[in-house]
Amino acid sequence: MPYPLDLHMHSQYSDDGEFSPAQLAEQCQAAGITLMAVTDHNSTRAVDETQEAAQTLGIQCISGVELDCRFQGIDLHLLGYGIRHGADIFRVLEEHILSQEKTSSEQKLALTNALGFHLSHQDLIPYGGQDGLYSGELIAEALLHDPRYQEHPLLAPYRPGGPRSDNPYVNFYWDYYAQGKPCYIEIDFPSLADAARVIKETGGIPVLAHPGNNLRERYELFDSIIAAGVEGVEAFSSYHDAATARHFLGAGRRHGLLITCGSDYHGKTKPSVHLGEMGCTLSPIEMEEELRRFGLI
């Protein structure tokens, strides 16, 4: 049974999202979700469309965004809730990052081909690469559908039955394009403190997304991250097992943070991730109280 609140999902305005904002609202209604937030990567363009569709369907919708940022050399994701999404700073940030990602796409493709592939720009167009922006997930989709690489050993873990086949596209991204991996290209993301400041200056609450995934074994950084201006933690996430969720729920409580829950639903990029499924152990009433305490509903 899906949890009735889901505060982390992505639309087509994210480079790895599958569905339109209206489609997400419809899927939330079908799943029994009554409170939602679309949190696209470095973009607030979905907010108006989502809120309009959600209102029509009787779903409460909080404005949101997910900003890429960096702290002590680690790439983090910072959710912003209750933001004034029309603020010009979000357009500036999105354009700054998109321009870099288009440039880095060429480098990313070259590094991918150095692994033993021969992908061209034309090979990527059927999967959404018309604009010259190639995410790791898009490249993975192209490779896994290319008959030339049906038997390629690097792709075997991502095919049905393989150890990374639950979410093949995003797992390929984490294995080859994430920080420290062979096809990683560094982008000039804002610092965590600057990202938190942008969210707060536009009326929002900055929340650390899926910390168990981004911090890995460096949980000792959590206190310093909070000191940089973060006011909430996504304790309940599809990335977290029960022990990780308990850890960050406890850490959040100790700091008096906003506790949130989110599936990080993308559609085909993460086929094993479903709306409303993030293992939240707080009752819906308790979660609503969290949001009310911070003025989000």
% the chain with pLDDT above 70: 100
Mean pLDDT score, 124-149: 94
Closest of 206, 213, 221 to residue 258, by C-alpha = 206
- How high is the mean pLDDT of the chain? 97
143 pLDDT band, cuts 50/70/90, is very high
Q: Domain limits of the chain?
A: 5-92+190-293, 109-176
- CATH number (3.30.428.10, 3.40.50.300, 3.20.20.140, 3.40.640.10) of 5-92+190-293 reads 3.20.20.140
Distance of CA 225 to the CA centre of its chain: 18
Can you give the pLDDT at residue 257? 99
Can you give the pLDDT at residue 129? 82
For residue 22, pLDDT over 80 is answered with yes
What sign has the CA pseudo-torsion 247, 215, 72, 16?
negative
Mean pLDDT score, 256-277: 98
Can you give the pLDDT at residue 40? 99
Can you give the pLDDT at residue 33? 99
216 pLDDT band, cuts 50/70/90, is confident
Q: How far apart are CA 293 and CA 244, in angstroms?
A: 24
Q: What is the pLDDT of residues 267-276, one digit of tens each?
A: 999 999 999 9
- Secondary structure letter of residue 221 according to DSSP: G
For residue 230, pLDDT over 90 is answered with yes
% the chain with pLDDT above 90: 97
Range with the poorest average pLDDT among 87-91, 142-146, 215-219: 215-219
Closest of 253, 252, 254, 242 to residue 281, by C-alpha = 242
For residue 131, pLDDT over 90 is answered with no
Closest of 165, 89, 176 to residue 139, by C-alpha = 176
For residue 130, pLDDT over 80 is answered with no
For residue 289, pLDDT over 90 is answered with yes
